[in-house]
């Protein structure tokens, strides 16, 4: 039985993850299971540290340097770099930013330095912070000004607090403060030990209703898709017709449908592995490594479109998709389920540093649902990236096209209806845009934080293609003639949503990829202790998720062509509001854990989450 060296409440020196800098921290608790200490820094950030990353305060050697008196990221910011105290350009640099900068400048060829820099900039450190709810409440109530801080930290931070902990400044004003820090950081680097990679622990808060929730979602999601698909085939898909008649069980499975789904997936896999298109780098992982992704999605959809057109030209009847929709969905469900089993099994054998921080509850059902391995790969074939962007997404467009053909057949039309054309074009634009900007997905939550399990596999392979196409399916048997003013209004709504969505996503993506991009120099930012900054002006200064706002406006434009006769074509809009509100709160918790009080500052500055002035 290993001894517990430090007791709760003890003040010790804790290593800042990924660096060789030690700060004064307070031990909160020790977990015998994970063998990790939970410690709190003076800026309120809680982290879990291994025993070897903690030193006793008394035995710790104090370095004699004039500018390094502080022992926490908060103190470094507040004492020596407070914008309130000093007006020099270097005033607001965080310890981590400075460390990263110093390392860049000192020994650029050193692998260890590069690794340290990467880890410093890496957002996904195993931060465990139970103050999320407190934070949410505090923010909603609009009472407190700052997160709870230890009294001593408060004293240190006081000079800044009068103006807010972080200064809001134009990014170009970051200027060239690096030199000031270089020597200090070099000194620390000379004494460096190998960087410790924080491990994922089983203490990450559970999402989606926890263990019970996972059971529920596992049963509910497939049942809900079945319900929707049965409902949309009804002449009157209203709630009055609930429950829809169930087809005989044996008709749900069809070998041919399974074959088509398999062939389609293999075809997309083939396009994905072709050495065509750019190799893009993902965000730094906890190990400091950056994975490479073949971002040739646009190429894939163009080739797929040509293949589908050639097949139709050769006489292939694409309306098969309409008449066998349920069977195709069941086949895709089986595929996603088997894939999830495979993912769960392999997640149990990969090294801890390749696991996501969630999906490690120890409960089989929860972990199977949530997914645990962050980037499961077979050689260079990235399963999560592939499933997120290819078979389901491109398949959705093919389904929509098939529905347009089915509508013409069903309603004896020479061309698809205006409503059908709008739905097809709008959703095609959404997918093509996603594939054109495929690299942007590398900075999204799914890719950066979530493990790959049933939730994403089912979402990517079943939910997206088979429920997002419901509007087109609905229009096959529920015509909705549109006049010119309605057409113009709907197109205008779509374009507005698309503009907000694209601009905001591109702005964040560009900023995350290159924070010093001169095109973004006019934007204000808030530095955080991780070394990354948060945009606090531009799109991300309007609301905290401008990209969700644009997406929601587009969702409205997708439903409007179907009219108001039934709720079913509005299902996507309703579902999407729920999804994005929940996603927003998940992201808020995640960012609160990552960025601590800097995130609070951001939330105080940008008060609304998605809709300006309302929510």
Q: How far is the CB of 273 from ligand NDP (least distance, A)?
A: 25
Q: How far is the CB of 109 from ligand NDP (least distance, A)?
A: 27
Q: Which is nearer to ligand NDP, 461 or 482 (CB)?
A: 461
Q: How far is the CB of 442 from ligand NDP (least distance, A)?
A: 10
Q: Which is nearer to ligand NDP, 535 or 560 (CB)?
A: 535
Q: Which is nearer to ligand NDP, 322 or 594 (CB)?
A: 594
Q: Which is nearer to ligand NDP, 416 or 531 (CB)?
A: 531
Q: Which two tokens stand for residue 311?
A: 């097949």
Q: Taking the mean position of all CA atoms in its chain, how far away is CA 97?
A: 23
Q: Which is nearer to ligand NDP, 319 or 443 (CB)?
A: 443
DSSP secondary structure string for all residues of 408-437: HHHTT-SS--HHHHHHHHHHHHHHHHHHHT
Q: Which is nearer to ligand NDP, 97 or 534 (CB)?
A: 534
CA distance 594 to 123: 6
Strand order through the sheet with 533-535: 169-170, 524-527, 533-535
Q: Which of 17, 447, 32 is nearest to 202 (CA)?
A: 32
DSSP type of residue 62: P
Rounded alpha-carbon distances, angstroms, from residue 584 to 442, 461, 549, 611: 18, 23, 11, 12
Q: Is 36 helix (H, G, I), strand (E, B) or coil?
A: strand
Q: Which two tokens stand for residue 464?
A: 């997206």
What is the β-pairing status of strands 22-31 and 278-281?
A: unpaired
Residue 15's beta-bridge partner residues? 22
Q: How far is the CB of 411 from ligand NDP (least distance, A)?
A: 29
Q: How far is the CB of 61 from ligand NDP (least distance, A)?
A: 34
Q: Which is nearer to ligand NDP, 377 or 513 (CB)?
A: 513
CA distance 243 to 285: 47
Q: Which is nearer to ligand NDP, 24 or 590 (CB)?
A: 590
CA distance 571 to 417: 21
What contacts 24+ positions apart, CB below 8 Å, involve 440-443?
Answer: 440/505, 440/506, 440/509, 441/385, 441/388, 441/389, 442/280, 442/281, 442/282, 442/283, 442/293, 443/283, 443/508, 443/509, 443/512, 443/513
Q: How far is the CB of 155 from ligand NDP (least distance, A)?
A: 29
Q: Which is nearer to ligand NDP, 333 or 511 (CB)?
A: 511
Kindly report whether the peptide bond that precedes residue 243 is cis, defined as omega within 30 degrees of 0. Answer: yes
Q: How far is the CB of 310 from ligand NDP (least distance, A)?
A: 29
Q: Is 22 helix (H, G, I), strand (E, B) or coil?
A: strand
Q: How far is the CB of 126 from ligand NDP (least distance, A)?
A: 14
Q: How far is the CB of 530 from ligand NDP (least distance, A)?
A: 8
Question: How many residues belong to the chain?
Answer: 615
CA distance 542 to 390: 32
Residue 50's beta-bridge partner residues? 36
Q: How far is the CB of 403 from ligand NDP (least distance, A)?
A: 19
Q: Which residues are near ligand NDP by CB under 6 A?
A: 123, 443-446, 501, 505, 508, 511-512, 532, 534-535, 540, 545, 547-548, 551, 583, 587, 590-591, 602
Q: Which is nearer to ligand NDP, 34 or 537 (CB)?
A: 537
Q: How far is the CB of 108 from ligand NDP (least distance, A)?
A: 24
Q: Which is nearer to ligand NDP, 424 or 505 (CB)?
A: 505
Q: What is the dihedral of CA 182, 186, 187, 193, to 10 degrees?
A: 150
């Amino acid at each position: 039985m290993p001894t517990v060296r430090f007791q709760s409440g003890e003040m010790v020196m804790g290593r800042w993850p990924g660096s060789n800098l030690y700060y004064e921290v307070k031990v909160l608790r020790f977990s015998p299971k994970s063998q990790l200490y939970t410690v709190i820094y003076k800026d309120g950030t809680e982290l879990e540290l291994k025993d070897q990353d903690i030193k006793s305060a008394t035995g710790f050697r104090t370095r004699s340097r004039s500018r390094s008196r502080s022992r926490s990221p908060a103190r470094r910011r507040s004492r020596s770099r407070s914008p309130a105290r000093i007006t020099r350009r270097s005033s607001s640099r965080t310890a981590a930013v400075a460390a990263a900068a110093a390392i860049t400048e000192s020994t650029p060829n050193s692998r260890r330095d590069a690794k340290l820099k990467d880890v410093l900039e890496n957002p996904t450190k195993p931060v465990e912070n139970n103050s999320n709810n407190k934070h949410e409440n505090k923010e909603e109530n609009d009472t407190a000004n700052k997160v709870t801080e230890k009294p001593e930290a408060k004293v240190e931070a006081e000079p800044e607090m009068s103006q807010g902990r972080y200064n809001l400044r134009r990014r170009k004003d970051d200027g060239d403060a690096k030199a000031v820090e270089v020597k200090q950081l070099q000194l620390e680097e000379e004494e460096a030990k190998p960087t410790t990679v924080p491990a994922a622990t089983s203490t990450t808060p559970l999402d989606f209703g926890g263990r019970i929730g996972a059971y529920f979602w596992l049963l509910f999601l497939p049942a809900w898709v079945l319900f929707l698909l049965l409902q949309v085939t009804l002449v009157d898909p209203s709630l009055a017709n609930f429950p829809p008649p169930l087809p005989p069980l044996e008709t749900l499975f069809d070998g041919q449908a399974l074959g088509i789904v398999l062939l389609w997936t293999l075809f997309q896999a083939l396009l994905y592995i072709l050495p065509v298109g750019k190799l893009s780098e993902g965000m730094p992982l906890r190990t400091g490594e950056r994975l490479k992704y073949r971002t040739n999605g646009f190429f894939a959809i163009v080739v797929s479109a040509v293949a589908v057109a050639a097949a139709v030209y050769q006489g292939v009847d694409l309306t098969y998709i309409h008449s066998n929709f349920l069977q195709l969905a069941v086949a895709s469900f089986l595929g996603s389920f088997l894939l999830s089993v495979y993912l769960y099994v392999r997640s149990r054998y990969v090294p801890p540093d390749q696991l996501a921080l969630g999906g490690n509850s120890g409960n089989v059902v929860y972990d199977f649902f949530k997914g645990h391995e962050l980037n499961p790969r077979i050689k260079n074939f990235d399963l999560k990236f592939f499933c997120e962007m290819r078979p389901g997404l491109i398949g959705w467009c093919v389904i929509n096209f098939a529905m347009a053909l089915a509508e013409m057949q069903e309603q004896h039309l020479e061309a698809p209806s205006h409503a059908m054309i709008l739905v097809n074009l709008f959703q095609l634009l959404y997918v093509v845009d996603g594939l054109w900007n495929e690299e942007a997905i590398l900075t999204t939550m799914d890719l950066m934080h979530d493990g790959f399990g049933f939730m994403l596999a089912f979402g990517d392979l079943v939910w997206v293609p088979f429920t997002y196409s419901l509007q087109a399916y609905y229009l096959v048997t529920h015509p909705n003639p549109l006049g010119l003013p309605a057409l113009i209004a709907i197109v205008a709504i779509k374009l507005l949503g698309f503009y907000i969505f694209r601009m905001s996503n591109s702005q964040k993506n560009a900023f995350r990829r290159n924070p010093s991009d001169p095109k973004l120099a006019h934007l204000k930012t808030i530095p955080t202790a991780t070394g990354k900054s948060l945009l606090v002006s531009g799109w991300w200064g309007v609301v905290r998720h401008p990209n969700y706002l644009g997406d929601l406006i587009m969702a409205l434009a997708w439903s409007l062509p179907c009219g108001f006769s039934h709720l079913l074509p509005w299902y996507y809009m309703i579902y999407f509001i729920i999804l994005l509100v929940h996603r927003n709160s998940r992201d808020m918790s995640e960012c609160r854990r990552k960025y601590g009080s800097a995130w609070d500052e951001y939330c105080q500055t940008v008060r609304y989450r998605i809709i300006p002035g309302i929510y």
